[in-house]
């Protein structure tokens, strides 16, 4: 067996082992009535965004931060709704406090935002429209939030998907690009 074959096989085994362990990291959680009400607030935020994306950060039913997509206004490609909500939260709270919160997003977080959500240690993510749904209206990187959460063996996160997704998708029909 040559070195290249050995390395390829070894890489496969490592990837398989990481993937196997990682799948236990995110937990699917059903939506509640409170989730629908809070998601509507995130969707309302999306109506104000440069693109129709909104996010809110909540602890024990109390909204602690809001975010809208501000990429055009701020001339900042990282100013996605989730990133803006995190920045707004951190302007008045300590980073450790994010670990007891839930983030609601009108769209499934992109890899950049999901990476930030993981690194911040959110205990729960609730989103409306999926990456697949969003890709029918606007360019998306085809990596799901669950896939990123599952690749982070240092965090356990609950994920609730599809809450009011139809409402979120309707915003793209009235987008003010």
Contact 125, 92 (CB under 8 A): no
CA distance 177 to 167: 18
Residue 23 CB: number of other CB atoms within 10 A? 12
> Is 82 an active-site residue?
yes
The active-site residue out of 27, 37, 82, 96 is 82
DSSP 73: T
Q: In the numeric block, which tokens belong to residue 59?
A: 């602890």
| Burial bucket for residue 98 (CB in 10 Å: 0-12, 13-18, 19+) | buried
Q: Which residues neighbour 115 within 8 Å (Cβ) at sequence distance 6 or greater?
A: 148
CA atoms within 13 A on the CB side of 159: 27
- Only one residue has tokens 């995110």, namely 26
Active-site annotation, residues:
82
């Amino acid at each position: 067996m040559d070195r290249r074959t050995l390395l390829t096989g070894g890489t496969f085994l490592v990837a398989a082992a990481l993937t196997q362990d990682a799948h236990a990291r995110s937990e699917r959680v059903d939506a509640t009535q409170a989730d629908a009400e809070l998601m509507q607030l995130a969707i309302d935020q999306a109506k104000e965004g440069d693109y129709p994306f909104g996010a809110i950060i909540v602890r024990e039913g109390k909204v602690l931060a809001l975010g809208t997509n501000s990429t055009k206004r701020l001339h900042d490609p990282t100013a996605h709704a989730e990133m803006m909500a995190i920045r707004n939260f951190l302007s008045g709270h300590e980073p450790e406090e994010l670990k007891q919160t839930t983030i609601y997003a009108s769209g499934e977080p992109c890899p950049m935002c999901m990476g930030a959500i993981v690194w911040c240690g959110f205990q729960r993510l609730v989103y409306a429209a999926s990456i697949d749904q969003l890709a029918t209206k606007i360019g998306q990187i085809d990596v799901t939030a669950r896939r990123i959460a599952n690749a982070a063996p240092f965090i356990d996160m609950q994920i609730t998907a599809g809450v009011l997704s139809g409402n979120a998708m309707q915003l793209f029909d009235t987008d003010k690009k």
